[in-house]
């Protein structure tokens, strides 16, 4: 691959969406209410999707015992574990509000517990949560049932308990094994601890183990991150997510504790990204796209080969057609041609449920243009290519005419070696994968009309 020039790095060192959805969540409006969301649920119940398409569930557990300075998640820092019991009661009531509209027993093929720290809950509380979900939904055999795990909150006995509750996939938050970096972000967890947990997880029988890494953290260098990547090769999880750190201290108060002077410069971040791509692919991992890697026999890699890859609010996914029900504070869902988000504060979330209302505070009903552009952007983000004919057949339009302005804009990216555009479609190049978000941004109608992008993380 041609080396990345300083000019190209400067040009694309700009903020941009990660496209876990299109339109992006910042486009949600308060005019979309719980009534609109309720109608979407009822339409699903009455339509063919209720029988043909299983649901995906996301449950947000906001509690954490300690603060990680890099974190931009919706969280509540507390050592008072008794708070979880009250939260579980509200989750149960939120599920009741859903089943009133959906009916009981809809099929679920995916479940993900995120946070926060889901393992903040005790084994008994996690059991209570899973029992409640199973009473209201039918969990399909062979589904993906995952939970995010903070290695500092778990041991072999707890892993066995999670397996017994029906979880078959784990995601460990590692970020970086370097002790100096861990100190800078206030998250100390020795590599030996993670290695032991992964070994125990495999012995128990978990189908897939994911590890999250972050590059661009304070005190990171290409040399230190290379050592972490070598350790990850030895750990050999089934999936690896390598995220770029998004430094947005104006939005996320904890990040103000990170010294800007300790953040690696852009060329070093690009080197770390390049190291990740080279090291992990040489180790036998399939590059799924943007920030995800998987072993060749993992379902994510299989979906990539078969063209079934999708992005949702948790990142890359194997279930492209699932409606997603988001439960808990700040959760985001997708039902039919709508997006919706729950209240972001515990007080508002509980108050809405106390008044018998679904805790939706904003969302969006997608237009036809939104749906067309979503198809194009997801093809870029997931497959690295767009075939004109497939979009034209699906949406009954002339691609070159509909996207004439966008194709003209892409000429500059083609000259820079990021894409190849011919008579059949658009192909992202090996170099273009570094800047795939910038390629997708060309088709973002909202972004082109709004140049205030500071709310997004930087592309590199």
Tell me the C-alpha distance between 158 and 177, whole Å. 23
Residue 446 neighbours by CB under 8 Å, 6+ apart: 23, 24, 27
Query: Does 382 show up as a binding residue in the annotation?
Result: no
Query: Does 70 show up as a binding residue in the annotation?
Result: yes
Least Cα distance to 71 among 243, 225, 190 occurs for: 243
CB 459 within 8 A of CB 438: yes
Query: Could you tell me the end-to-end alpha-carbon distance of the chain, in angstroms, rounded to an integer?
Result: 18
Query: Does 116 show up as a binding residue in the annotation?
Result: yes
CB 7 within 8 A of CB 412: no
Query: Does 319 show up as a binding residue in the annotation?
Result: no
Tell me the C-alpha distance between 36 and 41, whole Å. 9
Query: Does 246 show up as a binding residue in the annotation?
Result: yes
Query: Does 117 show up as a binding residue in the annotation?
Result: yes
Query: Does 38 show up as a binding residue in the annotation?
Result: no
Query: In which element (H, E) is residue 172 found?
Result: strand 169-175
The alpha carbon of 239 is separated from its chain's Cα centroid by a whole number of angstroms, namely 13
Query: Does 322 show up as a binding residue in the annotation?
Result: no
Query: Does 176 show up as a binding residue in the annotation?
Result: no
CB 22 within 8 A of CB 444: yes
Neighbouring-strand partners of residue 172: 149, 211
Query: Does 148 show up as a binding residue in the annotation?
Result: yes
Query: Does 400 show up as a binding residue in the annotation?
Result: no
Q: Token pair for residue 208?
A: 């897939």
Binding residue positions: 58, 64, 68, 70-72, 115-117, 148, 175, 187, 212, 246, 332
Binding residue positions for S-adenosyl-L-methionine: 58, 70-72, 115-117, 148, 175, 187, 212, 246, 332
Binding residue positions for [4Fe-4S] cluster: 64, 68, 71
């Amino acid at each position: 691959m041609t080396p990345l020039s300083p000019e190209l790095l400067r040009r694309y060192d700009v903020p941009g969406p990660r496209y876990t959805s299109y339109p992006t969540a910042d486009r949600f409006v308060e005019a979309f209410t719980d009534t609109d969301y309720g109608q979407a649920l009822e339409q699903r119940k009455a339509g063919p999707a209720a029988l043909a398409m299983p649901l995906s569930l996301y449950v947000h557990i906001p509690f954490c015992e300690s603060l990680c300075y890099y974190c931009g998640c919706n969280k509540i820092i507390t050592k008072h574990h008794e708070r979880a019991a009250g939260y579980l009661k509200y989750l149960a009531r939120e599920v009741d509000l859903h089943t009133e509209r959906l009916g009981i027993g809809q099929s679920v093929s995916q479940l993900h517990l995120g946070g926060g720290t889901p393992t903040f809950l005790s084994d008994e509380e996690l059991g209570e949560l899973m029992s409640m979900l199973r009473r209201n939904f039918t969990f399909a055999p062979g589904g993906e049932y995952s939970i995010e795990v903070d290695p500092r909150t778990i041991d072999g006995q707890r892993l066995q308990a999670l397996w017994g509750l029906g979880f078959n996939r784990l995601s460990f938050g590692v970020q970086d094994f370097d002790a100096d970096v861990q100190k800078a972000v206030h998250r100390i967890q020795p590599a030996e601890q993670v290695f032991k947990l992964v070994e125990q997880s495999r012995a128990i029988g978990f189908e897939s183990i994911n590890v999250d890494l972050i590059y661009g953290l304070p005190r990171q260098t290409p040399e230190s991150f290379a050592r972490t990547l070598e350790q990850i090769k030895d750990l050999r999880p089934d999936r690896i997510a390598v995220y770029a750190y998004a430094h947005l201290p104006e939005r996320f108060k904890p990040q103000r504790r990170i010294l800007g002077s300790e953040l690696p410069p852009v060329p070093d971040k690009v080197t770390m990204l390049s190291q990740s791509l080279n090291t992990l692919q040489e180790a036998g991992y399939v590059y799924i796209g943007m920030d995800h890697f998987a072993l060749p026999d993992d379902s994510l890699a299989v979906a990539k080969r078969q063209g079934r890859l999708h992005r949702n609010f948790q990142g890359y996914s194997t279930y492209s057609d699932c409606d997603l029900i988001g439960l808990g504070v700040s959760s985001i869902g997708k039902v039919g041609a709508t997006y919706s988000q729950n209240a972001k504060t515990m007080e508002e979330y509980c108050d809405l449920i106390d008044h018998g209302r679904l805790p939706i505070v904003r969302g969006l009903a997608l237009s036809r243009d939104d749906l067309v552009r979503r198809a194009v952007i997801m093809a870029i983000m997931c497959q690295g290519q767009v075939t004109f004919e497939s979009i034209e057949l699906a949406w009954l339009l002339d691609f070159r005419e509909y996207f004439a302005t966008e194709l003209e804009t892409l000429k500059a990216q083609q000259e820079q070696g990021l894409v190849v555009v011919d008579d059949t479609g658009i192909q992202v190049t090996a170099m273009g994968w570094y800047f795939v978000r910038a390629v997708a941004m060309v088709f973002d109608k909202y972004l082109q009309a709004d140049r205030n992008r500071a709310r997004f993380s930087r592309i590199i």
